[in-house]
A = this chain, B = another copy of it.
Amino acid sequence: MLNGRTPSVKDVAASAGVSLGTVSNVMNRPEVVSARTRERVERAMTELGFVRNESARQLRAGTSRTLAYVMLDGTNPFFHDVAQGIEMAAEDADLSLFICNSNSRSAREEVHLDRLLQQRVQGILITPVDPAAPHLDELARRGVPLVVVDRVRGGDNCCSVAVDDVLGGRIAVEHLAEQGHERVAFIGGPDTLGQVGERLQGAREIWSSLGRSPDDLIYLPTEAMTVADGRSAGERLAGLPARRRPTAAFCANDLLALGLLQQSIGAGLRVPEDLAIVGFDDIEFAAAAAVPLTSVRQPRQELGRAAAQLVLDEATNPDHRHSQLQFTPELVARASTVSRSRPI
């Protein structure tokens, strides 16, 4: 009767001597079927090795059981932590999570989004290559629940969850100033990235509010924000004439900071005595570095979890209102800015 096919509801029904509807009820509304038949059906299921076909379920029920996260850069652990937070929220809601990676390529992002649309996922979380990309509007217009993570987005046709980057910049540079540094470098780029701009802005604000000269806050642009970019920034730093050379650097993310740290140590500098370093994100590896890295902590998992909750609200709550959630970053001081002999 089955000849190789994987068994369907129909087979279970036949084997248990009940109708299709009853089998379905056993799965979806067990309280409505008598204990006796329920047991019989369940036995038939395990005997046959029945596995519900999710496509058919979804087709008929019209609702899928998956969320999706399109992450920006798979090589940055930060995004995996965000994903982990989303995953936890998804687990609580008994949903599956599709994780995609755009690798910072807009075309790849579009391919993923298109596929997710085809899958009719319940909602999409995304850290977009470009928060202003028209294909995001398209999604919103289609009515797909959408949350932008770790970016903010003009307009109010979707929710977003991010951290106050201006504040992040402020506390990082404030900390360096407190440690007595008088020349500080800001390393990050490209400055078309909203985050980089805002972190830089925060840095400049606090710097001038402390009465320092803008000339003493040096912007060292990078092409991207990888470890390699951090190393090359370190080389450029070393190339500056001594009187212009900063004694501290604030990097727009931890990968840059790690690269800078490596290059500096390799070049024989002492960290933090010769060069203090602050990163951003506070990924696990920041604390694990040879000289543990001071960093501006983003609540990575919380970011993901909150985003997932927003997307679920949009998916299920008919009077959902879009909101722009903003978390507060905090400074985690470690050895890369605070030498042991000179405590805070």
Contact = CB atoms under 8 A, between A and B. Distances in A.
A132 interface: no
A289 to B, nearest CB: 6
A285 B266 CA distance: 15
A284 interface: yes
Interface string A168-186: 0000000000000000000
Interface in A117-168: 117-120, 142
Interface string A1-14: 00000100000000
Chain A contact residues: over half helix, strand or loop, or mixed?
Answer: helix
Interface in A203-222: none
Interface string A47-63: 00101111110110000
Interface string A97-120: 111110000000000001101111
Copies of this chain, tallied across the complex: 2
A157 B283 CA distance: 40
A322 interface: no
A127 B44 CA distance: 32
B75 A284 contact: yes
A77 interface: yes
Given A58-B55, A59-B56, A288 B118 contact: no
Contacts of A285: 227, 258, 285
Nearest to A77: B77
A254 to B, nearest CB: 11
A311 interface: no
A83 B55 CA distance: 25
Interface in A24-55: 49, 51-55
Contacts of A53: 59, 118, 120
A290 interface: yes
Interface string A283-326: 01100111110000000000000000000000000000000000
A262 interface: yes
A261 interface: yes
Nearest to A335: B266
Contacts of A100: 96-97
A80 interface: yes
A74 interface: yes
A117 B262 contact: no
Contacts of A75: 77, 80, 284
A54 B290 contact: no
A198 interface: no
Given A84-B101, A227-B284, A262-B290, 4 more contacts: A55-B120, A75-B80, A227-B285, A227-B288
Interface of A: 6, 49, 51-56, 58-59, 64, 74-75, 77, 80, 83-84, 87, 96-101, 114-115, 117-120, 142, 227, 258-259, 261-262, 265-266, 284-285, 288-292, 335
Q: Which 9 A-B pairs have the closest CB atoms?
A: A290-B290, A54-B118, A55-B55, A99-B99, A227-B288, A55-B59, A55-B58, A265-B290, A54-B119
